[in-house]
Structure 1
Amino acid sequence: MARGWPAVLEDGPVRLRPLRRRDATAWLALRARNVAWLEPWDATSPVPVEGPRPTFAQFVRTLSAQARAGVSLPFAIDHEGELVGQVTVSSITYGSLRSGAIGYWISEHVAGRGIMPVAVALATDHCFTELGLHRIEVNIRPENGPSLRVVEKLGLRDEGVRERFLHIGDEWCDHRTFALTVEEVPHGLLARYRAQHPAP
């Protein structure tokens, strides 16, 4: 297994854990209920994909292989025991860069409750302490207000716009890049967030 995987990370009612094949029913139902909420921001392939879509089991198997290879950390997000979303650290790079990128989604029915900032902070701290990464970045469509609020609450630096950065739908879309290095949070991102946003 790669360094730092598998892992279970918790803070109060928020729990990050590896996505499992037995999550199929809950995960698929959650995505189906949230199509209108999530589809405008989901990355797509600019090259037409032929053949049947992968099954959920194949999807999990691919993510698990990437985790074992040390290039991705695909976490399911549970809130009070209910699957509510996903946060994935991808593009993990070592050498002189030691960086990763975090992407996330959450069900609309629990959005705005502070779950996602905690999830992103847990994943970031894990990357800094267990993987020894130096930098984490999050790339967000400028129009995606809910996602922008997550990085604003966490105090990530706005590094500007990357033009035509990711393919979504039928076009290449601009994204704003937010970043954080380990020196900026000597006591951890979650600790800094909690100091500024105490749990109720």
Structure 2
Amino acid sequence: MGAPISGVAYPIESRHPGWPAKLGPLRVPAGILDVRPVRLRDAGEWSRVRLRDREHLEMWEPTGVGPWPDRNAFWSWPSQWLALRGLARRGQCLPFTITVDGHFAGQITVGNVIRASLRSAWIGYWVSSDIVRGGVATGAVALVTDHVFNFGGLHRLEATVRPENTPSLRVLAKAGYRQEGLFERYLDVAGGWRDHFCYAVTKEETGDGLVSRLVAKGLAERV
């Protein structure tokens, strides 16, 4: 606790509240879902899945510098991991790996964390093509949203998704996010400026938590 001023003790907030942390387990149709901090040793599986799933991922992700094989090669992960870890230690993001039955299955990141009176951030995710429609992305979004509201000190999360990305729109709706509007020509994706829907949720809207909602609907089970 901080030093009392006029008889009131003020808590000192961690420099990076909510990270690192391990979330789950949660049983979803695809298997046992866990969310944990990104690791340097994720390199091999991260690269293997990203290279294999180029057609599944590239059309939805921001345009990057250099060809896909180079940006997602084994040797490109260490620098990305260092950058994510550095941002996390400064409290600017919360980068997580998604696993199913103990195996690498994707990533979920809370980024552009702004504190003070806003306490807002965005949430982004991707999952392996062999587990889509298995409840993994929905469960991961619910786990991370509950975590950052309860332990990360945030009040609002938003996600932006291309209108054509129907599976991701379903993920957010099932997880408990609501559509707020359309951002025109919002982000450079796949070589062009693309419109994106904005979905969002605030802490007050989550009630007992998004995971509890999934469990109540029979879409997930606590383990």
TM bin, normalised by shorter chain, reads: over 0.9
1:2 aligns with 2:16: yes
1:187 aligns with 2:208: yes
Distance in 1 (CA, whole Å) between partners of 2:208 and 2:220 is 18
TM-score, structure 1 normalization: 0.93
Which SS does the other structure have where 1:55 is aligned?
Answer: helix
Q: 1:73: how far off?
A: 0.8
TM-score, structure 2 normalization: 0.83
The counterpart of 2:54, out of the listed 35, 38, 42, is: 35
Q: Give CA-to-partner distance per residue, 1:84-130, whole Å, 9 cap, x none.
A: 10000001111111111100000110000111111001110111011
The counterpart of 1:123, out of the listed 144, 159, 179, is: 144
Which SS does the other structure have where 2:182 is aligned?
Answer: strand
Check conservation: 2:139, 2:220, Cα contact below 8 A: no
Distance in 2 (CA, whole Å) between partners of 1:136 and 1:93 is 11
Distance in 1 (CA, whole Å) between partners of 2:83 and 2:182 is 30
Which SS does the other structure have where 1:65 is aligned?
Answer: helix
Distance in 2 (CA, whole Å) between partners of 1:199 and 1:91 is 29
The counterpart of 1:142, out of the listed 138, 160, 163, is: 163
Counterpart residue type for residue 100 of structure 2? H
> Gaps spanning 5+ residues in structure 1: where?
none
Check conservation: 2:19, 2:152, Cα contact below 8 A: no
The structure 1 segments of at least 4 consecutive aligned residues displaced by more than 4 Å after TM superposition are: none
> Gaps spanning 5+ residues in structure 2: where?
1-14, 27-31
1:90 aligns with 2:111: yes
Check conservation: 1:92, 1:99, Cα contact below 8 A: yes
1:60 equivalent in structure 2: 81
In the alignment of these two chains, the number of paired residues is: 196
1:25 aligns with 2:44: yes
CA RMSD in angstroms comes to: 1.6
* Percent identity of paired positions between Structure 1 and Structure 2: 43
Counterpart residue type for residue 208 of structure 2? H
1:162 aligns with 2:190: no
Distance in 2 (CA, whole Å) between partners of 1:10 and 1:155 is 18
2:102 equivalent in structure 1: 81
Which SS does the other structure have where 2:19 is aligned?
Answer: coil
Counterpart residue type for residue 16 of structure 1? V
Distance in 1 (CA, whole Å) between partners of 2:136 and 2:118 is 29
Which SS does the other structure have where 2:220 is aligned?
Answer: coil
Check conservation: 2:176, 2:210, Cα contact below 8 A: no
Distance in 1 (CA, whole Å) between partners of 2:176 and 2:140 is 14
